[in-house]
Structure 1
Amino acid sequence: MAYYQNKTAKKYTLPTLILLLGCWAFTYAQQGSVSIDQDPKIERLIELYQITNSRADYYTIQIGFGNYEEAQDLKALARIDFPQWTPQIIFDSPTYRVRIGRFRTKLEAERKFLEVRKKYPAALILKPEPTNRNNNKQ
């Protein structure tokens, strides 16, 4: 009986040892460091991009309006129905308006509008407000 146990132990010892050494080598090889040298102009470009993008003219879809509680409920539903867009609540006295999407072209807005209209029949497309970009430069 002892001979059988020794033979079985020898049979599994080498593969177990190889497996443990392989795992140790793999986890040990994952250590290291990365150094990123970033041009200081990149930060300024990102800042300019964010400023420009926030002032860009976009079409949006208004899915509804009402008091604050109704707007919050509508925003929560829109987040579930259209997770790809971030709903916004805009206060335009005396109501709160819920809008979704930012579309560069009217065609793109109209395509998405057809999809939104199925869930929210009162939805409408809003044109971008004209801005004088020369006066908004910093």
Structure 2
Amino acid sequence: MKSTSFKTLSISGALLLFGLVGHTQEGHVKVKQDPEISNLLKLKKEINANEPDGDRYKISIFSGSRSSAENAQNGYNNVFSAWPSIMEYEPPNYKVYVGNFRNTLERDRALRDIKKKFPNAFSFKY
């Protein structure tokens, strides 16, 4: 009886071990990507690396009367807190500017988000 139990246990263990080893999965991921994406990323890095340290970028979200500019600035400040806003008077209009971005990558990311609330927003170098 001992030998039958031992054989049964041995065969069951071997089958279990074989089943675990035989059914392991090995995955391979192949990313299909347009080669131009890599080229664009390299180009963007080169552009950002070549920008002088003194160059800064701002985003303009409004230009018009003082009361409308205050409303636009308050509306901006209620939605966004990551980038500071400032209102300046440039005759004949009050203008609301946002941020002080070091490079175009930062500026572009902020502009994308800001345009959702202020569709006429645009960026400029100062």
Q: CA deviation at 1:126?
A: 1.1
Moved over 4 A (4+): none
CA distance in 2, matches of 1:85, 1:92: 21
Identity of aligned pairs, percent? 30
Partner of 1:125: 123
Q: Deviations over 1:37-68 (max 9, x none)?
A: xxxxxxxxxxxxxxxxxxx5320111111111
Match of 1:108 among 106, 109, 123: 106
Structure 1 gaps, min length 5: 1-55, 129-138
Q: For residue 84 of structure 2, what is the amino acid of its counterpart?
A: T
CA distance in 2, matches of 1:106, 1:75: 23
Figure out how many residues of one structure are paired with residues of the other and give that number.
73
CA distance in 1, matches of 2:60, 2:104: 14
Partner of 1:74: 72
CA distance in 2, matches of 1:63, 1:112: 12
CA distance in 1, matches of 2:124, 2:88: 13
CA distance in 1, matches of 2:88, 2:55: 16
Match of 2:60 among 46, 52, 62: 62
CA distance in 2, matches of 1:90, 1:57: 20
CA distance in 2, matches of 1:81, 1:60: 18
Partner of 1:96: 94
CA RMSD of aligned residues (A): 1.1
SS at structure 2 position matched to 1:84: coil
Structure 2 gaps, min length 5: 1-53
CA distance in 2, matches of 1:112, 1:121: 13
TM-score (norm 2): 0.55
Q: Deviations over 1:8-49 (max 9, x none)?
A: xxxxxxxxxxxxxxxxxxxxxxxxxxxxxxxxxxxxxxxxxx
SS at structure 2 position matched to 1:108: helix
